[in-house]
Amino acid sequence: MEVTSRGRWPRPLPRPRPGSRPRPAPVLAVAAVVALLVLISGCGASSYDYVTNKDDGAFLKVPAAWTYQEMPGPALFGIDARNVSPEMLRGLMSREWVVGLDAAEKFDETSLFVPDAPLPKGFVQVRHLLPEEANAVSTNDLRNFVVTVDDAVAAQEEAVRQDPYGARLAPSFLLLADEKVAQDSGVHGVHLIYQVATAAGLVTIDQTSLLDQNQTVLYQLVLACSALCYTQHGGQIGEVTGSFTIKPTDRGQ
């Protein structure tokens, strides 16, 4: 009959059992290994740089030693921004994407189009054509965007006819390669390599001009340097040109 109130007080919490000793060593070891790997691989530099425009689907792989920089496109050359409405300017800029490429250690915007550059220089561009341009453009036109190749070929042939030896020894224009390019999704165009004689000497130009299926977007990669430079760096240039890949997006439509 004894009235007890024992057991109302909470008992002390049980101590953890000896078996529950922590064994964090494997975890830490794994973490350390992962960290080490990461640090080591971080030190190793990549051998390529990637110039990409995901919005328009233009991809290019250049040697890591090269430098590149985005720049205002040629469409804006000569336009005084003060005379253009900001919307217009933004619209124009969004229609054109240009990245200058320079194999030199320091990117030099001013010497980008110097014909006798000792190291490869050039640019890659994406241009959304204006409706008028899009209507007028043809695959043949792609050949003549930088130099009017067909005229130059005709002039050279004429010169050969007149002076077969002299013109062959010192040609003013020499078409080294002329091939059609067809990529996935209907991207098509031409790849030309040609030599042009200028006042500063012979210049070799490697030009890839592509259009998408609807011929509304122009993709162009142009690399140039002196003929001597080209014989030295032709492999590199070929590699860069070969990596030029287009994955058209619906932005161009």
Partner 1 sequence: MSATDRATSSGSSAPAGETTAGDAASDSSTAPRRRPAALWDRTKFLLLLGALFAFVVAADVSGNPLMTWGDAFRIQSRSSWWILALFGLEVVHQIHIFLGERSSRYYVFWTDKVFGRAERRLLRFNDWNRYRASRALKVVAAFALFLFVYARIVDQSIFEATVGLPGAAWKAIPLVLQMVLLLVVVVGQFVAIFWFLSKGGVEVYFPEDIKTRFADVWGQDHVVSRVQENVFYLERPEEIEDRGGYVPGGILLWGPPGTGKTLIAEAVAGETGKPYVFVDPGAFSAMFMGVGIMKVKSLFRKLRKLSLRYGGVIVFFDEADTLGNRGQLAGGFSGGGKLGAGAAAFSTGHNPFGVPVGAESVDACNGFSYLDSFARAQIARDHAQRENFVMGGGMGGSGADGTLQALLTEMSGLKKPRGFLNRVVRRTLGMRPKPPPKYRILVMMATNMPQSLDEALLRPGRIDRIYKVGYPSKEGRIRTFEGYLAKVRHELTPDQVERLAIMSPEATGATIKDTVNEALVQAVKDGREIITWQDMLRARVVKEYGLADDHEHIARERHSIALHEACHAVVAYRTQRGRVIDLATIERRGGVGGFVAHVAVEDRMFMWKSEIEVQVMVSLASLAGERMFFDGDNTVGVGGDLRSATLLVSSNISSAAMGETLASRLSMIEHQMGQASIDSDRPFGEQVEAKLREIYARTEAVLSANRREVLSLTHALETHKTITGEDVEAIMEGTVGPTVDGRRYMEPGFMAVAEDYHRSAVQAHRGMHHDDLRELPELGRAAARGAPSVPRALPEGPSTAN
Instruction: With CA atoms as reference, report the closest residue to 212 among 244, 252, 245, 174.
Output: 252
Q: How far is the CB of 238 from partner 1 (least distance, A)?
A: 15
Give strand pairing partners of 195. 174, 204
* Positive or negative: CA dihedral 233, 226, 142, 108: positive
Contact yes or no for 219/185 (Cβ under 8 A): no
Q: How far is the CB of 52 from partner 1 (least distance, A)?
A: 6
Q: Which residues of the chain form contacts with partner 1 (CB under 8 A)?
A: 1, 3, 15-18, 20-22, 24-25, 27-28, 31-32, 34-35, 38-39, 41-42, 44-48, 50, 52, 54-55, 59-61, 243, 245, 247
* 20 DSSP 8-state letter: G
- The CA distance from 84 to 131, in Å, is 20
What token pair was written down for 202? 């012979």
Q: How far is the CB of 113 from partner 1 (least distance, A)?
A: 26
Q: Which is nearer to partner 1, 3 or 169 (CB)?
A: 3
Using alpha carbons, list the distances in angstroms from residue 191 to 178, 210, 235: 6, 8, 16
Q: Which is nearer to partner 1, 7 or 22 (CB)?
A: 22
Q: How far is the CB of 15 from partner 1 (least distance, A)?
A: 6
Q: Which is nearer to partner 1, 115 or 248 (CB)?
A: 248
Question: Residue 237: left (phi > 0), alpha (psi -120 to 50), or beta?
Answer: alpha
Contact yes or no for 103/66 (Cβ under 8 A): yes
Q: Which is nearer to partner 1, 45 or 199 (CB)?
A: 45
Q: Which is nearer to partner 1, 67 or 243 (CB)?
A: 243
Q: Which is nearer to partner 1, 16 or 78 (CB)?
A: 16
Question: Residue 150: left (phi > 0), alpha (psi -120 to 50), or beta?
Answer: alpha
Q: How far is the CB of 100 from partner 1 (least distance, A)?
A: 19
Q: How far is the CB of 55 from partner 1 (least distance, A)?
A: 8
